[in-house]
Amino acid sequence: MYDHVKEDKQQLDKQVTRRSFLKMMGGLSLAGITIGLTGCSNTTTVAEQAGGDGWLPQQYQARGNWPAQVRGRVPIDPDNPSIVRDDQKCILCGQCMEVCTRVQTVAGHYGLPMADDIICVNCGQCTLWCPTGAITERDETQKVAQAINDPNKHVIVQTAPATRVALGEEFGLPPGTWVVGQQVAALKRLGFDAVFDTNFTADLTIMEEATELIKRVTGEIKAPLPQFTSCSPGWVKFCEYYYPDLLPHMSSCKSPQQMLGAVAKTYYAKVKNIKPESIVSVSIMPCTAKKFEAQRPEMNDSAHYWHNKDLQDVDVVLTTRELARLIKQQNIDLSKLPEENYDPIMGEGTGGAIIFGATGGVMEAAVRSAYFLITKQQPPADLFNLTPVRYLEGVKEAAVEVPGVGTVKVAVCHGLSNARQVLDTVRAGNAPWHFVEFMSCPGGCINGGGQPRSSVPPSDEIRMARINSLYQADAQAPRRASHENSEILAIYEKFLQHPMSELSEELLHTSYTDRGKKINALTS
C-alpha cells in the first residue's frame, strides 16, 4: 500500500501541465483580487483616513492649541442688507476680522453670549480688505436694470461726492482721477431719466446742520454740545450700538443721500408734475452702509408727505463698484465718454459739498456756512483752506474765531477706533468742542466700503490721491460755500421756506434708534 501512494505522487508531479498551471494561476489571481476588493490587503493607517486632502493657511498649522494672532473671520448675517460673503472664496485669512476688530473696533467689542443681532455697522471695510473678494456688497444692479427697462417708471439717480474721484479706477485711470462729467454721461447712457448730484443735498445738509449747531450753541434747541455729524450711516449705527447715551449729541439732520431721496419724491415730483409712486430713486454711493440706511423704516418721509405708505425715500443704493459693473455690462468705456452736466433743480453743488467725501470736509463746509449764517458776512480766506482738519491724521482739532460768538472749537475723526477716543472724552464730560465730525471709514467716504478695490488692503497713497483730487476741485469751484448754491436758495424759496422750518424738519431731519440692548457688556 505504501508503494502505491508514492507512485501516485510521482505521477502527479509529472502531470503539472500547462492547463493545470494556468488554472492554478487563475485561482491565485482570483483570491488576490478578492482580498484586494474586500480591503484586506490595504490596511490604512490613522494618518491616512478619509479627509485631510485639503489645506489651511499657515497660521493654523501650529501644533495643538497654540495661539494664532489672526484667526477666523467676521460673522455676517445672511440677511445683511449691505454685504454678502461667498464661502467658496473664503480662505479664512482673517483680514476681515483684523479690520473689523482693530480699525473699526466693532467685532470683539461686545460681550458674549450675543443678543438677537449679528453686530455689524455695515461700513464694508471688510470688502476692501478681503483678498479673494469673498466679501462683497449685496449686488442690486438687476433691480436698477429692471426699473430702467420699465417704461412706467421715472428713474432718477444721485451720485455721491466721493464716487467721482474713484470710479475711473475701475476703468484703468490713475487713482483719484476726476471723472464727474464722464460719470454723468455714463448714467445717461445707462438710461436714467434724470441725473442729480448728492452735492446738492450736501449743501442742503450744511444749511440745516449749521443752523442746528447755531441753535444748540444759542440754547434755542435744548440739546447737548458738542453736536455730532450724522452723514455717515456706519458711524450712526456704531453710535446707536456702542454709545446710545450720546445719541442726543447726534445732529437730527439726515444724510445727503436721504435728503435727496426725500426732496426728490416731494419737491422734484411737484415741480416736474411726476407721480411720486412712479419715481424710482437710485443712488450711487461709495458706501455699503448707505444700503442699510436707505432701508431704515423711518426713511420714508415722502410716504408721510403724500400719505402713501408704499413710498421709500431712496429705493436702491448702488456702490461705486456696482455702477462700474453696470457700465461695463453695457460695454461703455467710461474713459472715452464726453463730459456731461447734472440735470437742473437738484444738480448744483459747491466746493463745500465736494469735500464732503473726505475726512474733515463736512466740518470745513459747515464752518464756512456757519460763519456766514451767524455773521451774514463772507468767511475769511483761511476758512476756505482749513488745513488743521484735512488729511489722514486720526483725530484732528481746530479752533475758529467767529465774531459775535467767540472761539468755535471743532474736532474731526475718521475710522471708528478713532471715534472711540473722541466719544470716550465726550462721555467723560471733558470735551471742549462745539462740533465733531465723524466718518466711519478711514480717510472718509473716498475710502468707503463700496469704493473700487484699487489696493488691497486700502493704502494711504490711494486715499491721498482721492482726497487731493477733491480738494483741488473745491479750490477751483466757482462757488465754495453751501449758502451760495443757487438751487439751494431756490428750494428754500419755493418749497422749504427756511432751514429747520416745519417742512424741513419733516423731510430733512430724523431720529435714531437705541441699539444698546443688542450689545452685551464685555466681561474680563
Partner 1 sequence: MSKGVLVDLTKCIGCGSCSVACKMWNALPYSQITQQQGSNLDADTWTVINRAEVKKDNEPVWRFIKYQCLHCDEPACVSACFSKALKKTKEGPVVYDVNLCVGCRYCMLACPFNIPKYEWDKAFPEVRKCQMCANRVYNGDSPACVSVCPAGALTYGDHKTMLAIAREKINGDGDYVKHIFGEKEAGGTSWLYISDIPFEKLGFRTNVTTKPLPEYTESIMGLTPAVGLSWGALLTGMYVYNRRRNEIAKEKEKPGKK
Minimum distance of partner 1 from residue 106's CB (angstroms): 12
- Which CB, 2 or 55, lies closer to partner 1? 55
231 is catalytic: yes
Minimum distance of partner 1 from residue 520's CB (angstroms): 10
Backbone angles phi, psi at 300, to 5 degrees: -135, 45
In whole angstroms, what is the distance from residue 179 CA to residue 429 CA? Answer: 44
* Residue 315, all three cell numbers: 429705493
Minimum distance of partner 1 from residue 74's CB (angstroms): 6
- Which CB, 88 or 511, lies closer to partner 1? 88
298 is catalytic: yes
- Which CB, 38 or 152, lies closer to partner 1? 38
In whole angstroms, what is the distance from residue 72 CA to residue 92 CA? Answer: 5
506 is catalytic: no
240 is catalytic: no
- Which CB, 421 or 520, lies closer to partner 1? 520
* Residue 451, all three cell numbers: 469704493
Pick the catalytic residue: 98, 169, 212, 322? Answer: 212
In whole angstroms, what is the distance from residue 146 CA to residue 62 CA? Answer: 51
Minimum distance of partner 1 from residue 27's CB (angstroms): 23
123 is catalytic: no
126 is catalytic: no
251 is catalytic: yes
Burial class (CB in 10 A: 0-12, 13-18, 19+), 194: buried
Backbone angles phi, psi at 344, to 5 degrees: -70, 175
- Which CB, 3 or 53, lies closer to partner 1? 53
* Residue 36, all three cell numbers: 484586494
- Which CB, 25 or 35, lies closer to partner 1? 35
Minimum distance of partner 1 from residue 55's CB (angstroms): 6
**Residues 446 and 458: beta-carbon distance below 8 Å:** no
Kind plus residue range of the DSSP H or E element containing 438: strand 435-439
CA nearest neighbour of 176 among 437, 452, 411, 484: 452
Minimum distance of partner 1 from residue 278's CB (angstroms): 37
- Which CB, 5 or 112, lies closer to partner 1? 112
User: How many beta carbons lie within 10 A of that of residue 511, not counting itself?
Assistant: 8
328 is catalytic: no
In whole angstroms, what is the distance from residue 155 CA to residue 299 CA? Answer: 19
In whole angstroms, what is the distance from residue 197 CA to residue 343 CA? Answer: 8
Pick the catalytic residue: 126, 413, 441, 445? Answer: 445
* Residue 409, all three cell numbers: 472749537
- Residues of this chain that bind partner 1 (CB under 8 A): 38-39, 42, 44, 46-56, 60-65, 68, 71-76, 78, 87-88, 90-92, 94, 97, 107, 112-118
**Residues 485 and 203: beta-carbon distance below 8 Å:** yes
Minimum distance of partner 1 from residue 230's CB (angstroms): 28
Burial 315-328 (b: 16+ CB within 10 A, else e): bbbbbbbbbbebbe
Report DSSP state, residue 383: G
Pick the catalytic residue: 120, 231, 239, 413? Answer: 231
User: How many beta carbons lie within 10 A of that of residue 453, not counting itself?
Assistant: 18
Return the active site residues: 209, 212, 231, 251, 290, 293, 298, 445
